[in-house]
Amino acid sequence: MTGAEFITYVKVKINRLDTAAYEAVDPEEILFYGREAMKRISLDFDKGVYRGTLNSATYLNYLASITKTEPEKVCTDGAIALPLLLKLKDVQAYVTVGANSGWVPCEPETNESNSLRENNPFEKSFVDMPNYRLIDDKIQVVQNGFTCSKIKYEYLKYPDEITEVSIINVPYQSELEDMTATLVLENLESRRIETQPAISRSLNIV
């Protein structure tokens, strides 16, 4: 399916749901929300939400196609820059304490305040399970009595931009069209509400 064909299929579904909205939808909007829908469905697949709609081989093949492993990268002060990604899945750090060193799994830092983390032994960053933070498109391993010299990670690939000449090859074409149509209509409805007079909005008059 090309991006142009995708636009046609989505507009047909929009017309069935809300005929008045058909002419108000631009092709660019459909492509934009198509990518947003692809992001949401990919994350659902990662959580197992769509397992019942596909056979296991198709499901696993799709997940494998969007799951990437980044080879080890040298850190600067325990941090490396991250590419644009959909979800960070697995992080490992190469840590050194005295004469000992090796790869260990990491976990994301909680939302606890710094003072609470320092006083809670379950929240601290330890050498056998360091914490990491995501700051300014970087991943930062919290070094606490040890040093981190390298990081490697696994992630879900961010969907490519969709254009009219793009080839959309996903195992959930119908779901993608449905979610895209829903997102487009939700956006149109929010624009309609925003353009209503203040009194009409407060009375929920359409």
Query: Is residue 148 exposed (0-12), middle (13-18) or buried (19+ Cβ within 10 Å)?
Result: buried
Q: Do 97 and 122 meet the contact criterion of CB atoms below 8 Å apart?
A: no
Tell me: the pLDDT tens digits for 72-95?
A: 999 999 999 999 999 999 999 999
Confidence at residue 205, expressed as pLDDT on a 0 to 100 scale: 45
Confidence at residue 206, expressed as pLDDT on a 0 to 100 scale: 42
Tell me: the pLDDT tens digits for 95-113?
A: 999 999 999 999 998 765 4
CA pair distance 103, 205, nearest whole angstrom: 61
Confidence at residue 52, expressed as pLDDT on a 0 to 100 scale: 72
Confidence at residue 203, expressed as pLDDT on a 0 to 100 scale: 45
For the chain, what is the total number of helices (H) and then of strands (E)?
Answer: 6, 8
Confidence at residue 178, expressed as pLDDT on a 0 to 100 scale: 94
In the chain, which residues have pLDDT < 50? 113, 198-203, 205-206
